[in-house]
Structure 1
Amino acid sequence: MSWRPITLVAVLCLALTAPGTAAADDPPPEVEQRAGTRAPAEVHGLSEPAQAGDPVAAAKAHLADPRYHLDPADLAPLRTVVDGADETVRFAQRHQGVPVFGAHYLVHFRKDGDRREVVGAGGRFLTELTVSTTPTVTGKTAARIAHTTMIRDHRSREGVTAQDAGLVVVPGGAGQLAWHVVLTGRDAVAKKPLLLDAYVDAHSGRPLFAVDRLRMEGPVTGSGQTAHGRTVELNAYERADGAYELRDRTRPMWDGTDGEILTYDAAGRTFFDFFTPGIPEGTELVRSATPVFGPEHTETGAVDAHWSAGQVYAYYRGLGRDGLDGQGGTMYSVVNVTADGEPYTNAFWDGTKMVYGGGGDYHSFAAALDVVGHEMTHGVITHSADLVYIGQSGAINEGLADYFGNAIQVDTYGIPMSDPNASLLGETLCKTAPPEECAGRDLGDGRVAGEDYLGFAVGYDNGGVHYNSTIFSGALWDVRETLGGAVTDRLVYKALTEYMTPLDDFVDGRRAVESAARALGMSARDKLTVARAFDRHGIRPGWERALRTDSRVLIDGITDRLARPDVAGDRYVISNTSPDALSPSVILTGRIGGGKPVRLSEGERWNSVPVTDGRRAAWTSFDAAQEHYQVHVRPLDRSSPPELVFDAPSLVDSVAIDGDTIVWDGVGADGEHGVWVKRGSAAPVEVTAEAAVHGFSPSLKGGRLAYERYWTEDGALRSAPAVVDLRTGAETVIPMPAGSWTVKPTLTGRHLVWMYDADDDGRYGIMRAAPDGTRRAVVVQDGPQAPRPNWFDANDEVATLGLWPDGSGNEVSNAILPKIHQVPLGGGTPQRYSCNRGYQDYFASGEGRTVVWLDGTDGNTDLVTRDRPAPRCRTGS
């Protein structure tokens, strides 16, 4: 699933009727409208008097004009930016006192002594919001829902905590009240930190989306003496006991109590300890017995981090900004973190501080000034436009961090823009690899939106925020190469702080830069340079046109983040919601052969994870009023209404159906994850009732149940497929070597098929057995060359896998995204199934070689199908 950004559908040029001071022959002001709201996206070309004194009051007075169609009482001031004679006031929208996600509105003034005039206004204000701000679901329940549904891998859930952080209104139509839930922990599979801002519908309990708070780099290339042998001056602090600390109080932002640059030593503690805002108790400032910080401080990255933070401060001070928050707030860095004692080759900004790792083949990630500048720029973005870290707005966020990070480095070191390494990000982090191989990104890669935009699902890289960033930052870098750094840096900074808003897409971002160019009074020639740079990178209205595909569309526009299809015979089932993703999700069924899908679910509840046996469908829903999870069953022909077969507070994760037998897995009253079976009208029975036994991913066929069985043996966690004969109750646990992991055992009728990872390296082989677990055979051998799947299904003939490709390196193209492959159950090499170039996500096997899947190729997520593998695909598709 990919996030579909809000876009303008019309641009109108209208003469404003309000009185102004412009001469009669001046061009009229221009108004650009935004779909779904009466408040203009932008009004520019104004020259109207404004009241003196407090700029916030002056801005609210201006916005009271009827042409803006908004109530200034719904605006909460965030900050005021002063750039010479220019003054910009930024507001955040409130609906009945609740913050509106991503809705910022700005007013632009120009001052001449005590005289102030309005020269423009705009942003994002939603005038059509009517949603009730009284929640039905509690914050505690929302946290539990987010924890279960938004952490895809169940092994990672064990180490993740969920905490509600208040209510917000998600924009779109009448709006959607949501709980903001913070998910904190670690990704057990990728072995990296996890810090998500998740949002759950406060009326229905439906998960909406999640935003990654960690702005990470790498792995990319990352002095006192710096890691690269440069002797630098460090602003330190001599303590009363004679020791010296990396504490810089020499900057203009120091007010006697706040406004320092501080660098702390994590002393090898794991990155997980540094997720909470601020500096954890027990973490000490980097310290030396003399004012010379020695080799140990070079090795940990402390010298680089402290010196570089000072360079970042000085750069933004040159643009008129006092620190990352614009208010002279203290800048914090932490160096020398590890991944549970192992090298942590990354760095991140967590919203309050910088955290740096390093080791192995890499210097400390603080050893690359462009990386330091990049990550700290995320702090500037947070305290200005606060671009949402999803899809195109997230790619602009990353792109601006790329741009300013590289700008800081080339200006500080005096690197000419013509240097081939000037456009590389993180090229100096590697200890041995050359710059072009070490760099994480290249702002000079020439990528074009319509040709090179990657169709990521929102669950991966937050919709391609890193992979798509150079489309936008590349255009800005092209402008810098032509117009120079002084002009372009001021232009881009003004666009970020005075014109961009949180949910901007690429076209919105271009408009913001062009608006800033007009406000700066740039020449027609220079404005043409800006326009041509965006044109070269394909950023123009309407660039998101459909691309060629080899699949047939069953449903155009799947907007439910949790959508996952299932297939039996010629019938499919799937969940979906409204185009704006604001309505409760419904269960749909249709025929693979074609025709319009019909709705199976009833009511206004959140419904999800439907399955079918070809005659009936089963799915889960959430009763927000009672905070109960439910399982429903209904014939596909809708000959009878939905039947409620389970209703309890216990969380349900997934279901399976075969005839009158229903199976589901979830969290029981004891807090453990198990599997339950319900046959006909009998009460549900837990098949994982044995102490410390957990069950996941049930599959049902022919009177047998298969599931992933997890248990502890000799102090170690074990995993194996288990098969239960539902007629006799006998259970067979298929022997698997200790230390191996099994995933998604699937009953097909003639076979039991599952994936296995024998060495915990993220690569999986495939095994099959008879339905009773006997006669095991290897279909695809695990090992160093085994596939890396993102999803799996099987039928009696083939196993279908979504595979991450090998050998992509630093390549940035749709070729790095998972693609569907198939392999006969008799064995062989998995072969490509569809040549669609975008992300091919959740899928289900039909009869023969038919597959139904979620595809992001044409700019949004569609439910599509094919009935045979593609004969060959072009390179790069």
Structure 2
Amino acid sequence: MSWRPPALAAAALAAVLALPGPAAADDPPPQVEPRAGTEAPAEVSGLAEPARAGDPVAAAREHLAGPRYRIDPADLVPLHTVVDGGDETVRFAQRHRGLPVLGGQYLVHFRTEVGRRTVTGAGGRYLTELDVATTPAITAELAGRLALARLIPDQATRRTAKAGAGELVVVPRGAGVLAWRLPLTGRDVRRGLPLLRDAYVDAHTGRPLFSVDRLRLAGPAEATGTTAYGERVTLQAYRRDDGAYELRDRSRPMWNGATGEIITYDAKGASVFDVIGPGVPPGLEPARSATPEFGPEHTATGAVDAHHGAGLVYAYYRGLGREGLDGRGGSMHSVVNVTWDGEPFINALWDGTKMIYGGGGTDFHSFAAALDVVGHELTHGVIEHSANLLYLNQSGAMNEGLADYFGNAVEVDTLGVPMTHPDASLLGERLCKTAPPAECATRDLDDGRHATRDYLGVTVGFDAGGVHLNSTIFSGALWDIRERLGGAKADKVVYKALTEYMTPLDDFLDGRRAVESAARAAGLTARDRLVVAAAFDRHGIQRGWDRRIPTDSRVVADNLMTAFAPPALSGDRYVVTDSADDGTGPSYIVTGSLRGGDPVRLSQNDDLNDLPATDGRRGVWASMETGQEGTFRVLSRPLDRRSPETVVHESPALVNTVAVAGDTVVWEGVDPAAGEMELWVKRGAAAPVNVTAETGVEGYQPTIENGKVAYLRVWVEGGHVHTTPAVYDVASGTQVVLPEAPGTGETPSASLRPVVTSGHVVWLTDTDGDGTAGVMRAATDGTGVTALVPDGPDAPMAFWLDAGDTAVTLDVLPGPTLQNRDLPKLFQLPLAGGALERFSCNRGEQFLPAAGDGRRVIWFDGTAGDTDLVTRDRPARRC
């Protein structure tokens, strides 16, 4: 959990930092709130200090050069200046030795009255402790390979993915982490969405840090047209020289003769994969009509709704003083009528430069038909061009929450919906063609979520750390403020907070502080400011909220910084990947005992270490020796650390999952020539054996016990990927390939995660392609294939499995909703067969279990607000 200074220490530091200014003797002193890990204050408020006239950027630099801030103005690059009547806010981005600092932004607030400019406050996130070298030790190409291998756990998605050109940035952890930022693109097969993520990889060690989703998804002359709801609307269009009309709006004040248009393009059924990405694809044309009447075909594609809605959103933000999404009158682009390779694309997204709307097929209108969805997605563009809240963890939840707030605000004001109407707080409630609003809505800003009671603790690998799951905790507080103060007053304060006080890495408490500061700056009365504070209190956004969440598991290792590779357990000894508490440096392997004591470091080198395994006596893991191209190794060391680590295998090719039992080590390694994943087995001092030497055959996810190696055998046949478990006998060199389960859908069955025990192999199988999976068991000689849990309509949506001689533990998505009950949960059943039972009642994400003796399990748990390694030794049964 994040450390915060005790109240007395914070007050003392504030007193030191609050240097006297020119205020009168009876004026209250400036309020200075420190931020842990940096000498630069999080916020300085209550100022009334003279500032130079003229250029606001120069005035802001001059103010920040004072000793109060500990900031070097040379490290600041101006982003933009927001003018709100007599108020000005200058936003700077931090640089470290010329490189951008992720989330490093600082703001200075001015007020001009009677021709006199004064500084009223400043704050943000400036890291004074950065000292990282800016010369990379690995290439961007190698960083891309590592990001694809480590940050995309789903194999089907990984096969479609590729990494784009990288750029160097500094991640603000400790003294700083030099990182390659690389775009990952492809198809997210499991979610049925395009893949568009920014991956961050340590440029000194090669350690994948995290990835951030760039898609902002919804859970959605004059001409005329008809909306999806039968409303006749006026459309601002453009009459071409040939007499045709196109949806190109140049009537707005932002049009300057070259830019500042609102343009709606018709993709004519093109796949979202051909449309997504920077700018408008060549050849894509605006929606067009031979007459000023845009007819039924333009209603069906969503062109009428998208164009009309974009104009309404523009007008709404102009009422708040903003000229377009970027605040500088840049053009606003929308693309409608996209598909998923010819099938309906039931979603909408902001891709960083434009809106993309899918058609909804038989059950949904075009996603442009819901004005709150249009407002939500376009607000992501406003956020990107202002506070640019990082789409990860609490800052990402605030990003989503603000988009929800403003999307709903646009809709209720435009349609004249009273704030007291039960549908006013719903997002996307008008998308469905037949379902009632409450069932169609993706979120409800009046759901009453409370941070301590309802925060859904997930690791960064799920929903980007809860950006959708936790958004209504923050947006609910904002909507409460709007319900009590009215839209005109609340919208101005929230917009001011977003554009003048928030910075990219803010958490919920930072967000509360920003709104309260904006309320003071906007001149709200003391009574109204109490309404603002009470709204955040009702939603539990108070200091220490994350320390009051109950759990039923025991913490083995607290606040792990890495949770992409599963832990391993044998007997009472475990191994797991970790890194320094401040997240800096390469990842390393630690080991510990479930009997107690702190974990100790097992790996000895300073390279990237990951993917650990253990047999209870020694640990093995994959390591990458830092260099421009990288050298991959499999390393081994006794858990008692009586002897140093040794090299089991070394190669220039990527090494993935490893396993160990006695004198035998198994690993996945990429064949550089064919690009296939090969499975290698090395026994003692003997040369390693390639178990999947056949051309076109790959091996994944090995486990080993009693001289038997179980792995997932993968090949392509008839244009489809086929999977089935295989068992390799180390002593005889023979193997048994289990029969592929017959598929009952349009594609072959999919098997996953075969685990070998002392006498059996168990695995998951999805026979019908619906995402649920049965649990299969067979003897290690391939006989006695039995369904412990049959696949079918009642099968669990299991995506991970581990087993011992007593029990099988599943990681299951209980349902499809973004609710606490549907976060990944652990279930267990006896290896001999029986009923599935809940293993833990922790309400947060329970991720990547590792089985031990009896029914004992360890796993990554996000319930308590960070990523912990926790354990239980028996099922909870009922929760």
Cα deviation for residue 717 of structure 1 reads: 2.2
For residues 589-620 of structure 1, give each alpha carbon's deviation from its aligned partner in whole angstroms, at most 9, with x where no partner exists.
12222233222100222211111112111101
Moved more, 411-420 or 114-123: 114-123
The structure, 1 or 2, with the larger RCO (C-alpha pairs under 8 Å, 6+ apart) is 1
Match of 1:745 in 2: 754
Alignment length (residue pairs): 864
- AA in 2 matched with 1:170: V
Write the distance in 2 (CA, Å) between the matches of 1:7 and 1:393: 18
2:424 is the counterpart of 1:422: yes
Match of 1:437 in 2: 439
Cα deviation for residue 20 of structure 1 reads: 4.2
Match of 1:54 in 2: 55
Cα 1:78/1:5, change in 2 over 3 Å: farther
On the 8 A contact 1:844/1:851 being kept in 2, the answer is yes
- Matches of residues 504-519 of structure 1 in structure 2 within 5 Å? 504-519=506-521
Match of 2:852 in 1: 846
Match of 1:495 in 2: 497
Cα deviation for residue 771 of structure 1 reads: 0.9
2:830 is the counterpart of 1:824: yes
Cα deviation for residue 115 of structure 1 reads: 2.8
Write the distance in 2 (CA, Å) between the matches of 1:598 and 1:495: 44
Match of 1:446 in 2: 448
Write the distance in 1 (CA, Å) between the matches of 2:648 and 2:573: 22
Match of 1:696 in 2: 700
Match of 2:214 in 1: 213
Cα deviation for residue 854 of structure 1 reads: 1.2
For residues 163-212 of structure 1, give each alpha carbon's deviation from its aligned partner in whole angstroms, at most 9, with x where no partner exists.
23311111121111100011011112222111111100010000001110
- AA in 2 matched with 1:818: P
Cα 1:17/1:462, change in 2 over 3 Å: closer
Of residues 473, 488, 491 in structure 2, which corresponds to 1:486?
A: 488
- AA in 1 matched with 2:483: E
Cα deviation for residue 649 of structure 1 reads: 1.5
For residues 366-414 of structure 1, give each alpha carbon's deviation from its aligned partner in whole angstroms, at most 9, with x where no partner exists.
0000010000000000000000111111111111101100010111111
Of residues 669, 687, 690 in structure 2, which corresponds to 1:683?
A: 687
Give TM-score, length-normalised by structure 1: 0.96
On the 8 A contact 2:749/2:765 being kept in 1, the answer is yes
Cα 1:336/1:279, change in 2 over 3 Å: same
Write the distance in 1 (CA, Å) between the matches of 2:89 and 2:106: 10
2:152 is the counterpart of 1:143: no
For residues 6-49 of structure 1, give each alpha carbon's deviation from its aligned partner in whole angstroms, at most 9, with x where no partner exists.
86766434387766443221111111111111111111111111
Of residues 801, 818, 828 in structure 1, which corresponds to 2:810?
A: 801
- Matches of residues 3-22 of structure 1 in structure 2 within 5 Å? 11-12=10-11, 13-14=14-15, 20-22=21-23
Q: Secondary structure at the match of 2:298?
A: helix
On the 8 A contact 2:553/2:842 being kept in 1, the answer is yes
On the 8 A contact 2:622/2:635 being kept in 1, the answer is yes
Of residues 630, 639, 651 in structure 1, which corresponds to 2:654?
A: 651
Cα deviation for residue 271 of structure 1 reads: 1.1
Of residues 668, 672, 677 in structure 1, which corresponds to 2:671?
A: 668
Q: Secondary structure at the match of 1:164?
A: coil
- AA in 1 matched with 2:776: M
Match of 2:775 in 1: 766
Match of 1:723 in 2: 727
Gaps of 5+ in 2: none
Match of 2:793 in 1: 784
Match of 2:278 in 1: 277
- AA in 2 matched with 1:298: T
- Matches of residues 371-450 of structure 1 in structure 2 within 5 Å? 371-450=373-452
2:130 is the counterpart of 1:123: no
Moved more, 98-107 or 846-855: 846-855
Cα 1:17/1:562, change in 2 over 3 Å: closer
Give TM-score, length-normalised by structure 2: 0.96
Gaps of 5+ in 1: none
Of residues 367, 370, 378 in structure 2, which corresponds to 1:368?
A: 370
Write the distance in 2 (CA, Å) between the matches of 1:713 and 1:870: 44
Write the distance in 2 (CA, Å) between the matches of 1:16 and 1:699: 57
Q: Secondary structure at the match of 2:160?
A: coil
Moved more, 697-706 or 320-329: 697-706
Q: Secondary structure at the match of 1:67?
A: coil
Q: Secondary structure at the match of 2:228?
A: coil
2:553 is the counterpart of 1:544: no
For residues 208-255 of structure 1, give each alpha carbon's deviation from its aligned partner in whole angstroms, at most 9, with x where no partner exists.
011100010127xxx900001111110011111111110000001100
Match of 2:105 in 1: 104
Write the distance in 1 (CA, Å) between the matches of 2:877 and 2:763: 26
2:587 is the counterpart of 1:585: yes
On the 8 A contact 1:209/1:561 being kept in 2, the answer is no
Cα deviation for residue 871 of structure 1 reads: 3.9
On the 8 A contact 2:613/2:620 being kept in 1, the answer is yes
Write the distance in 1 (CA, Å) between the matches of 2:362 and 2:581: 47
Q: Secondary structure at the match of 2:100?
A: strand
On the 8 A contact 1:75/1:92 being kept in 2, the answer is yes
On the 8 A contact 2:452/2:548 being kept in 1, the answer is no
Cα deviation for residue 660 of structure 1 reads: 1.3
Match of 1:528 in 2: 530
Q: Secondary structure at the match of 2:94?
A: strand
For residues 741-790 of structure 1, give each alpha carbon's deviation from its aligned partner in whole angstroms, at most 9, with x where no partner exists.
11011110110111111111111011111112222111110011111013
Write the distance in 2 (CA, Å) between the matches of 1:395 and 1:424: 17
Write the distance in 2 (CA, Å) between the matches of 1:359 and 1:57: 54
Cα 1:689/1:541, change in 2 over 3 Å: same
Write the distance in 2 (CA, Å) between the matches of 1:282 and 1:730: 57
Cα deviation for residue 550 of structure 1 reads: 1.9
Write the distance in 2 (CA, Å) between the matches of 1:21 and 1:600: 57
Moved more, 183-192 or 427-436: 183-192
Two-structure CA RMSD over aligned residues (Å):
1.6
Q: Secondary structure at the match of 2:226?
A: coil
- AA in 1 matched with 2:683: R
On the 8 A contact 2:423/2:438 being kept in 1, the answer is yes
- AA in 2 matched with 1:340: D
Write the distance in 2 (CA, Å) between the matches of 1:571 and 1:457: 24
Q: Secondary structure at the match of 1:769?
A: strand
Match of 1:169 in 2: 170
Match of 2:638 in 1: 635
Match of 1:304 in 2: 305
Percent identity, aligned pairs only, is 62
Q: Secondary structure at the match of 1:708?
A: strand
On the 8 A contact 2:458/2:861 being kept in 1, the answer is no
- AA in 2 matched with 1:110: R
Write the distance in 1 (CA, Å) between the matches of 2:203 and 2:587: 14
Cα 1:54/1:8, change in 2 over 3 Å: farther
For residues 470-515 of structure 1, give each alpha carbon's deviation from its aligned partner in whole angstroms, at most 9, with x where no partner exists.
1111111111111111111000000000000011111100000010
Write the distance in 2 (CA, Å) between the matches of 1:6 and 1:328: 42
Cα 1:17/1:410, change in 2 over 3 Å: closer
Q: Secondary structure at the match of 2:48?
A: strand
Cα deviation for residue 355 of structure 1 reads: 0.4
- AA in 2 matched with 1:429: L
